[in-house]
Amino acid sequence: MALKRYLAWAACLGALVAVFLLSKSPELAPAAAASTTRSDPAAPMAGNPAGDVTIVVFSDYNCPFCKTADTALEKLSKDDGHIRLVYKDWPILTDASAYGARVALAAKYQGKYAAVHSALMGIPGMRIPQDRMLAAIKTSGVDLGRLEADLKAHGQEIDDLLKRNSEQAESLGLQGTPAFLIGPYLVSSALDYHGFKQVVAKARAKATGK
């Protein structure tokens, strides 16, 4: 576990370098693994459910580059209007990361995943402890009593989803966060607004054969 977390931190920090390598064409993801990753009905979704491009987001609430990318992706989703977002909580950095992921997924049962996700992504820095996460969650507008009840009632479902997320990440060959499946393309870097826009355009062009 210690080695896995070390490698995950290294991949997270390495994303800073990857931002500057955007000119390199994104790689095509393995088709079967990509299809399975996009189709899990239990995964939280946002954006346009009928969008012509699906972006699957693998992230950890203790990854600073995930937070930067999340802001850019949310803006592009609103500006574009035709992007379907699928969130894959992949808590690989710290024990608190797992706490944040479980709470965010529990909030989905009261329609508050997006609010809790945004609150946790809004905490600056890395290695955020559980108490700071809880403080942010309390500002999200979530019903804390129901959240606690849903954590208990749906604990196995949440754990099963997190396990599937991890298996899907491994099937795609991911080494850390952030990582994005944008249409057929796999991008293991913290893209900015224009970076996301560029790969989305490439995904659309491929879909139409242009």
pLDDT in tens, 57-94: 999 999 999 999 999 999 999 999 999 999 999 999 99
Angle between helices 130-138 and 144-153 (to 10 degrees): 120
Residue linked to tokens 């977390």: 5
The predicted structure's pLDDT at residue 35: 94
Residues 88-128 have pLDDT tens digits of 999 999 999 999 999 999 999 999 999 999 999 999 998 99
Residue 165 tokens read as 């997320």
- Check whether 24 has a pLDDT greater than 80: no
Domain residue spans in the chain? 2-208
CB 58 within 8 Å of CB 165? yes
pTM score: 0.88
The rounded distance, in Å, linking the Cα atoms of 138 and 167 is 31
- Is the preceding omega at residue 178 within 30 degrees of 0, hence cis? yes
CA distances from 181 to 23, 65, 85, 96 (A): 17, 16, 10, 25
Fold of domain 2-208: Glutaredoxin (3.40.30)
3-state class of 139 per DSSP? coil
Beta bridge partners of 28: 185
Tally of CB atoms within 10 A around 80: 17
